[in-house]
Structure 1
Amino acid sequence: MKGTEMKQGFLRACLILSAMSAALMGMGPQAAAAAPVASETIISQVNAMPAATRQQTIEAEAKKEGTLTLYHVNIEDIPVMAAAFTKKYGIKVVLWRSSSETVSNRLITEALGSRFDADMIDNNGPGMEALSREKLLQPVKSPLEKDLIPEAFPGSRDWVATTVDVFVQAYNTNKIKKADLPKTYNDLLDPKWKGMLTVEADDQDWFAMTSEKLGKDKTHKLFQDIVAKNGISVRKGHSLLANLIVSGDVPMGLTLYGYKPEQLKKKGAPIDWFVIQPQIAQIRGIAMPKKVQHPYAALLFYDFMLTDGQQMYADREQYPTNRKIKGHAGAMPLVYIDPARSMDEGAAWTKDYERIITKAK
């Protein structure tokens, strides 16, 4: 959803017709929806219980419900975690996956049509911010939240970050020697990097934060010069970027998520990563809608993602937000992208990114 301003009035005007059509056509993983309940009521009741009673109650009631529906954007991790949750508790997880913007639009659309299929949401920061502004999310206030890094809680506090996407630079180890790696972005002006560099097409948030920290005018001029002298190719998709580096088609990428080159490196691929400061990061997380059909199963999955799920993220070379997990994001000096600013300033950030890098002439 990067580069898209999801304005409430626009969305309501454009989506209300599809909301009504969706309700009639039975859009969603469940064609016949059970009567939804208010999340806040259930949350208030269980949070008033002693910790042990709270857990016992949630588990018992969740097993009675037997299922939950999760809308998500994370194609690599969420299916694995959902399977682990089902194995642990015997509760089926119905998954529906799409892009961040589509997930957010669907929740808004269904709410306009009084349809409440989703019990839990997985999305990136801007996607969650869009749902928060539509007042569709319910703060859970789990006692487990005390173990999370401060950055896990956005200003609205109606969703929580479960992992952090950390931007790194990566290179093909067969084509570039570690000793030759650039230490600053200024080093990329060296002619030896001509035809060697690439970025992901929608990483305007990374560029905006990098520019802000290093000086906007100076950084814009620097990257204009890099593009003019050495060129920067543009690719769509961070996984594609990583695979192209492994193949050697693009020897160095400037905007990869740190987990992917690390995963590939451990599999023996000729790729490694390094960091040119500042190191930019963005949060991804989960949320519970205000109205759901399976509130206890949703609460159980929420707590699962703050505990078992955190270790699973770490095992998959990602950066969890739980401070009790080794390798958590709080141990790193990161510059976080504010999801609210990403929404409000995203159009301007995209314009700069396209003008200077991705669509430079």
Structure 2
Amino acid sequence: MKRNFRLAAMAGLLGAALTLFGASPAFSAGYVSSESVAQYNGADRTQKLVDGAKQENKLTVYSSLPPADFDPIVKAFEQKYGVHVTVWRSSASGILQRAISEGRAGRYEADVFETNGPQLEAMYREKLLQPINSPVLKLLIPAAIQDSNAWTATRLNVFTVAYNTNLIKKADLPTSYKDLLDPRWKGKLGVEGQDSLPWFAETVHNLGGQPGIALFKQIVAKNGVSVRRGHTLVANLVASGDVPMAFGVYNYKVQSMKEAGAPIDWFSIGPAITQPNGVGVAHMLRHPNAAVLFYDFLLTDGQAMYAAHDMAVTNTTVKRKLPDVSMQIISNKDIIDNQAKNQALFNSVFSGT
């Protein structure tokens, strides 16, 4: 037990040596620092990553993306490089909790995190992430570079309002949140309650703070708002008509269902609140070469695959399906700084707690 603890503690100091010369059997179950691999920028960078990744032959990714959206990207990476990828899935909050718990216990099971921006910001503050020096960075939109590139936005999640096109006519859509005080919306409204806190906080701010809070409380009191957790679940409930209209839903999920023939569409009341989400490489891990190679892959080959699932991507060389609305990109730093306050506010408005 003491020996394992000493090995974990020494990992940061020995990381560079282990990475360059290969881990000896004595250290085969230990962790190494990804810094030397992540910061290398020689002309042979890609070839070194490929060779190292093939030798490691494994990669562990923690992801909050649904299998339908992420599995094709993982399979493409495996086919291209022959590296086996294990994906552990949870909500963005679940990934953050596990990452922090493992990190504080000296366990670093994830090589890569692919999840929401606020959670990656929190991991950065816990010193769990490693900045990457990659040539692909110059191809990205400015908003993609986060926290001195301790993590990088692969996609933009655009919060919108989803509605059932069989039950609500486009001509009847509200143009302001005040319109939702109309009795016609009674029993028809819902909100995504798992990851939509950034949307709510920014929307309330846009509505003037306290006046915005008061307005949402009026909407809840007069017409009711059903709180459901999970963007896929909420989109399915809208398409089925169980929740005819819902706030804080990712537009890409709705767009994909719409293109598949479901009676669902989306719109925005005011600017669409937009959150950079993305990828971070663990500072301490088992497979540094595979991790950095996968990071590069998500920002190059993977971008077209994200876009094929109607996501707004960050690589400017990839044809992007950006929503035809004004987008307001939010600060993940602000979201984390005000997390407790905003969560309490959300609960007080939508749950009466």
Counterpart residue number, 1:11:
none
Q: Quote the Cα distance in structure 2 between the aligned partners of 1:334 and 1:298.
A: 31
1:257 equivalent to 2:250? Answer yes
Q: Match of 1:250, SS?
A: coil
Q: Quote the Cα distance in structure 2 between the aligned partners of 1:132 and 1:262.
A: 32
1:39 equivalent to 2:31? Answer no
What is the one-letter code of the residue matched to 2:123? L
Count of matched residue pairs: 328
Counterpart residue number, 1:247:
240
Q: Quote the Cα distance in structure 2 between the aligned partners of 1:113 and 1:254.
A: 38
User: How does the TM-score come out when normalised to structure 2?
Assistant: 0.86
Identity %: 45
1:304 equivalent to 2:301? Answer no
What is the one-letter code of the residue matched to 1:123? T
2:121/2:147 contact within 8 Å kept: no
Q: Quote the Cα distance in structure 1 between the aligned partners of 2:168 and 2:71.
A: 35
1:273 equivalent to 2:266? Answer yes
1:119/1:293 contact within 8 Å kept: yes
What is the one-letter code of the residue matched to 1:71? Y
- CA positional deviation for 1:43: 2.6
Q: Quote the Cα distance in structure 2 between the aligned partners of 1:329 and 1:137.
A: 28
Counterpart residue number, 1:225:
218
Q: Match of 2:149, SS?
A: coil
Q: Quote the Cα distance in structure 2 between the aligned partners of 1:257 and 1:275.
A: 11
- CA positional deviation for 1:328: 5.7
Distance 1:33-1:252 versus aligned 2 partners, 3 A rule: farther
Q: Quote the Cα distance in structure 1 between the aligned partners of 2:305 and 2:37.
A: 28
Q: Quote the Cα distance in structure 2 between the aligned partners of 1:330 and 1:296.
A: 35
Partner residue of 2:171 out of 157, 179, 187: 179
Counterpart residue number, 2:13:
none
1:209/1:335 contact within 8 Å kept: no
1:39/1:295 contact within 8 Å kept: yes
- CA positional deviation for 1:107: 2.6
1:321/1:328 contact within 8 Å kept: no
Counterpart residue number, 2:103:
111
Partner residue of 1:93 out of 85, 98, 121: 85
User: How does the TM-score come out when normalised to structure 1?
Assistant: 0.85
What is the one-letter code of the residue matched to 1:69? T
Distance 1:111-1:194 versus aligned 2 partners, 3 A rule: closer
What is the one-letter code of the residue matched to 1:143? P
Report the aligned-residue RMSD.
2.2
Cα deviation code 1:320-352 (max 9, x no counterpart)? 111222226598632223222222211111222
1:144 equivalent to 2:136? Answer yes
1:213/1:278 contact within 8 Å kept: no
Answer with 163-172 or 53-62: which moved more.
Answer: 53-62
Partner residue of 1:72 out of 59, 63, 75: 63
- CA positional deviation for 1:35: 3.3
Distance 1:221-1:248 versus aligned 2 partners, 3 A rule: same
Q: Quote the Cα distance in structure 2 between the aligned partners of 1:286 and 1:330.
A: 22
